[in-house]
Amino acid sequence: MKTHSFFRITAALLVLLSARSSFAQEIIKADTLGTVVIRSTSLVNKNVTMAFTRQFKDAVSPRWYTLDKNYLVKFIQKDQRNNALYNKKGYLVYHISYMNGNSLPREIQAKINSQYADGIALTAIHVNEDARSIWIVNLKVGQYFVLARVEGEEVEEAERYTDTSI
């Protein structure tokens, strides 16, 4: 009887130890896996690359992607992030630039100041599409965060949030 119970205890310990060691091996494998980065590259036709280099001469680090039947390029220009979408014939569909509030052109800053005299521009997005030029500006106005839209001579408040950190 003693040998029978000794055998059961030994078998149970072996099962526990083997389960523990196999689990530990899985953790070690998971901890040693490297980071996997997947990048998509696309071949861009000559019309598109010529149009891009003509329109954005000082562009840095362009990265091209296919988007439906169009070509999206992400690049840096004048220390600002930019996106541009071209169709397959090389026609610019839209151009978006992202910037800090202190990089706003004077005329846009003046339009914002006319409606929000005590507002501080934090960030801005400029969208050029066809003949339209639209600015989306994030402002800090007193205890509020304001999202303002500027197109032509019109300044429109899109959203307003209360600053909860005050």
- Give the chain's radius of gyration (CA, Å): 29
Range(s) of the domain holding residue 114:
104-166
pLDDT tens sequence across 19-36: 554 444 444 444 455 554
The answer to the question of residue 96 being in a domain is no
Distance CA 94, CA 88 (A): 13
The answer to the question of residue 115 being in a domain is yes
The answer to the question of residue 144 being in a domain is yes
Residue 117 belongs to domain with CATH number: 3.10.450
The answer to the question of residue 68 being in a domain is no
The answer to the question of residue 130 being in a domain is yes
The answer to the question of residue 47 being in a domain is no
pLDDT tens sequence across 113-156: 999 999 999 999 999 998 899 999 999 999 999 999 999 999 99
Query: Does pLDDT of 166 surpass 70?
Result: no
The answer to the question of residue 56 being in a domain is no
The answer to the question of residue 127 being in a domain is yes
DSSP letters spanning the chain = -HHHHHHHHHHHHHHHHHHHHHHHHHHHHHHHPPP----------HHHHHHHHHH-TT-EEEEEEEETTEEEEEEEETTEEEEEEE-TTS-EEEEEEEEEGGGS-HHHHHHHHHH-TT-EEEEEEEEEETTEEEEEEEEEETTEEEEEEEETTEEEEEEEEE-TT-
Looking at residue 126, its pLDDT comes to 96
pTM of the model: 0.70
Per the structure, how many domains does the chain have? 1
